[in-house]
A = this chain, B = another copy of it.
Amino acid sequence: MKSEEIARLAGVSRSTVSRVINNYPNVPEKTRERVMKVIREYNYEPNQSARVLAGKKTNTIGLFLFTIYDINSPYRIYNNGYFSPFVDSFVDIGNSMGDYMLVHTIYKPEECWRIRQTFLQKRIDGGIIISTDKSSELESIFRDVSHPIVIMDYDPSVIEKTMGPEARIAVVDLNDEKGINEAVDYLVSLGHRRIGMIAGRQTSYSGLRRRECFVRRLEHHGLPVDDRYMIKGDFTWEAVVPEIEKLIYSQQLPTAMIASNDLMAMAAIETFKRHSIRVPEDISIIGHDDIPTAAIYKPALTTVRIPFFDVAKKSMDMLSELIENDTPRFTVYKADVGLEVRESCSRI
């Protein structure tokens, strides 16, 4: 079934059918009705490719996720409580806006060409990129591609520097400073003075920055930044366990630790438990992100909450904005985060 047949059956031209489909005003109600009747009767849907080729939008949004796991790891991307709420939210929001969502997983920077390809093939109107690590491959996309992009977890200043003159990019940033400050302040208010950190990968924007904020806040309170308590993690469970074990063997424990994500917080808690160090009785732990399991976990995790849905909504709104306006521009949005107090910390 194509528009030509609809036209014939309704006794009009293809032009008129097209006007009806696109809801143009210049067609009388009676004609519109007649055409719609035929369209409904035959379950007609216009061919997407023909429409796009003739100049319409694709109504498709690309969602590109840079996973932190190896493709062979059994812990894959969406299992990661950080990504799945985002995928969830983005798909829902896109669908409810009438858009189709193309979801793509990127395992290595070298696969970035996939993003460019998707744009150049004109499969999507715009893209959401959830990245973690700084990569030159990604930055080359900011330079080349003039299509609307919203990016999360990337240093805004780097983007502003790298992006080409045609770029239409928005950055969604988290107010990490506020989140980390609240976490540190809370521990201080509970009497803690020996506070450590389980940091995220330092090649990532958020991993690096959360660590900086942490150090600054300790100094603000006049507390020592003890290198022995600064654990190098990489956002995954596996990397944390041996580091925490080393810490335990050193016999020098802090009284509290802040992790750069919840998974690492839980990995630490499990490791402490296995060595009969109780949380929160013996050591207090704060996570980051508030992934869905954080609340179910025992002890329920005190953590810095990311409002996943709101962040996704804001991102999609910004993307729509960029899609509608075809003038190059650059915007940064800083999303609010806040400490969610549960059971994993105690007064000293």
Shortest CB distance A306–B (Å): 14
Instruction: Bits for A123-143, please: 1 = Cβ < 8 Å to B, else 0.
Output: 100000000000000000000
Q: A157 at the A/B interface (Cβ < 8 Å)?
A: no
Q: Provided the pairs A84-B84, A102-B102 are in contact, do residues A45 and B120 lie with their beta carbons within 8 angstroms?
A: yes
- Contacting pair B91 A85 (CB below 8 A): no
Total number of A residues with any Cβ neighbor in B under 8 Å: 49
Q: A118 at the A/B interface (Cβ < 8 Å)?
A: yes
Q: A313 at the A/B interface (Cβ < 8 Å)?
A: no
Q: A333 at the A/B interface (Cβ < 8 Å)?
A: no
Q: Which of A92, A96, A266 has the most CB of B within 10 A?
A: A92
Q: Which residue of B121, B296, B298 contacts A46 across the interface (Cβ within 8 Å)?
A: B121
Shortest CB distance A278–B (Å): 13
Shortest CB distance A94–B (Å): 9
- Contacting pair B120 A104 (CB below 8 A): no
Q: A276 at the A/B interface (Cβ < 8 Å)?
A: no
Instruction: Bits for A289-321, please: 1 = Cβ < 8 Å to B, else 0.
Output: 000110011100000000000000000000000
With the chains together, A58 CA to B45 CA distance in Å? 17
Q: Which residue of B95, B114, B122 contacts A48 across the interface (Cβ within 8 Å)?
A: B122
Q: Which of A123, A144, A270 has the most CB of B within 10 A?
A: A123
Shortest CB distance A325–B (Å): 23
User: Which residues from chain B contact A43 at a C-beta distance below 8 Å?
Assistant: 116, 120, 144
Q: Which of A47, A87, A88, A101 has the most CB of B within 10 A?
A: A88
- Contacting pair A91 B71 (CB below 8 A): no
Q: Which of A73-81, A190-198, A205-213, A240-248 interfaces with chain B?
A: A73-81
User: Which residues from chain B contact A52 at a C-beta distance below 8 Å?
Assistant: 48-49
With the chains together, A49 CA to B57 CA distance in Å? 11
Q: A53 at the A/B interface (Cβ < 8 Å)?
A: yes
Q: Which residue of B58, B78, B88 contacts A76 across the interface (Cβ within 8 Å)?
A: B88
- Contacting pair A121 B84 (CB below 8 A): no
With the chains together, A43 CA to B144 CA distance in Å? 10
User: Which residues from chain B contact A293 at a C-beta distance below 8 Å?
Assistant: 293, 296
Residue of B nearest to A54 (CB): B49
Q: Provided the pairs A49-B122, A95-B105, A104-B100 are in contact, do residues A79 and B71 lie with their beta carbons within 8 angstroms?
A: no
CB proximity to B under 8 Å, residues A268-301: 270, 292-293, 296-298
User: Which residues from chain B contact A239 at a C-beta distance below 8 Å?
Assistant: none
Q: A49-B52, A84-B88, A266-B296 are in contact. List 15 more A-B contacts (CB 8 A).
A: A43-B120, A43-B144, A45-B120, A45-B121, A49-B122, A50-B53, A75-B292, A77-B88, A78-B78, A78-B88, A78-B91, A87-B103, A100-B102, A101-B102, A101-B104
Selected A-B contacts with CB under 8 Å, 27 pairs:
A43-B116, A43-B120, A43-B144, A45-B116, A45-B117, A45-B120, A48-B121, A49-B50, A53-B53, A71-B92, A76-B85, A76-B89, A77-B88, A78-B78, A79-B84, A79-B292, A91-B104, A92-B105, A95-B104, A95-B114, A100-B102, A100-B118, A101-B102, A101-B104, A102-B103, A266-B296, A270-B296
